[in-house]
Amino acid sequence: MGKIMIHNTQGKDDLERATLAFIIANAALTAGQEAIVLLTIDGVWFAKQGYSNGLQAEGLGPIGELISSFISNGGQVWVCGVCAKPRDIDSEDLIEGAQIVGAAVAVEAMVNGAQTLSF
């Protein structure tokens, strides 16, 4: 089994890109790969409870459903702690299955062979 880490920096201002990150992440799980979505910058908003409600890029599925499916199928959602802090997002605000991590955790995943893709 391989490992992929998809890095999403986008919030609802670029919903298409953010949605594509979770489409790819779900595809990785379907293909039997380990998948992590690393949320940084405005992407951290997608880990906040209620943020994705009603959000859907034209022609794509609702992002909230994609995130839920990803997590329920074993995907990991990592939230950049440095990025969450100025947005007043802490662990109590997160959707179930998301966790705040430090940069060292992401670096360790890459050093240990995670293939990366950024949106």
Confidence (pTM): 0.96
Q: What is the CATH number of the domain that holds 61?
A: 3.40.1260.10
Per the structure, the count of domains in the chain is 1
Q: What is the DSSP track for 16-82?
A: HHHHHHHHHHHHHHHTT-EEEEEE-GGGGGGGBTTTTTT---TTS--HHHHHHHHHHTT-EEEEEHH
pLDDT in tens, 78-114: 999 999 999 999 999 999 999 999 999 999 999 999 9
Segments forming the whole domain that contains residue 96: 3-118
pLDDT in tens, 45-88: 999 999 999 999 999 999 999 999 999 999 999 999 999 999 99
